Amino acid sequence: MSTSSPTPPIGYLHSTESGAGVDGPGMRFVFFTSGCQFRCLYCHNPDTWKLHHGRQVTVEQALAEVAPYAKFLKFAGGVTISGGEPLMQAEFVGALFSAIKQKFGLHTALDTQGFLHENIDDAWLDNVDLVLLDIKHSDPERYLALTGQPLQPTLDFARRLQRLGKKMWIRYVLVPGLTDDDADIERLADFVADLGPTVERVEVLPFHQLGSDKWKQLGMDYQLADTPVPTAEQVTHARALFAARGLKVT
């Protein structure tokens, strides 16, 4: 009696970038997956929200896109899978990480907000060298208002990564009037500091308006059209609040 082999997972990609310098250590090849269950008010890629708006690819096709850069990436950086939200396509993304390790031996990073982490087992993370974990607010009510989803699963994922000894970079977008309150930042800084040495750094990312045109093109109401970008002083102040907990901050 013959058994058919399982169908290889199909992924949906929004785009790729071959020379990214802000998505993990060194220069990165980045896969931006389609699909996200968050509706962040400051999202600069709302065109990634719908899964099937992306182009379909197999793992082999995705590998072929990395291949021309693999030798360079081996010493210069690695591969990051971002989104959208990669964990919406956990089977495909896990298979792609595994294949990247097996074929090219590259450093791998996962950029996620961790909300769907219960969809993956611990072994899924074996092929992930670094997690770029977006924690968008420390107050549960304001987090829900900002993203449309609850905060706790993301905090649970951070604790899970701590338990596994998985390296993390924590990412925090500084938005005037939304995420710049000292008490909120200090609460998050305390939580992150308690995660210990698994957190290699905290990245405070200044809010920008570069995605506002996409909202208009999609016929969507962009609520932050009049929100200013943070000043250099505001960014420096926020970074200092994290640094005061002994965290490396960029």
pLDDT by 10s per residue, the chain, length 250: 445 557 789 999 999 999 888 899 999 999 999 999 898 888 778 788 888 888 999 999 999 999 999 999 999 999 999 999 999 999 999 999 999 999 999 999 999 999 999 999 999 999 999 999 999 999 999 999 999 999 999 999 999 999 999 999 999 999 999 999 999 999 999 999 999 999 999 999 998 876 677 777 878 888 888 899 999 999 999 999 999 999 999 9
CA angle, residues 27, 46, 12, in degrees to nearest 5: 65
Which domains, ranges and CATH numbers included, belong to the chain? 10-243 (3.20.20.70)
* Cβ contacts of 4-10, under 8 Å, gap ≥ 24: 8/58, 8/59, 8/60, 8/95, 9/58, 9/59, 9/89, 9/91, 9/92, 9/95, 10/56, 10/57, 10/58, 10/92
Report which residue type is found at 130: L
Q: Say what the pTM is.
A: 0.93
**Token pair of 196, please?**
């210990």
**Token pair of 41, please?**
């008010």
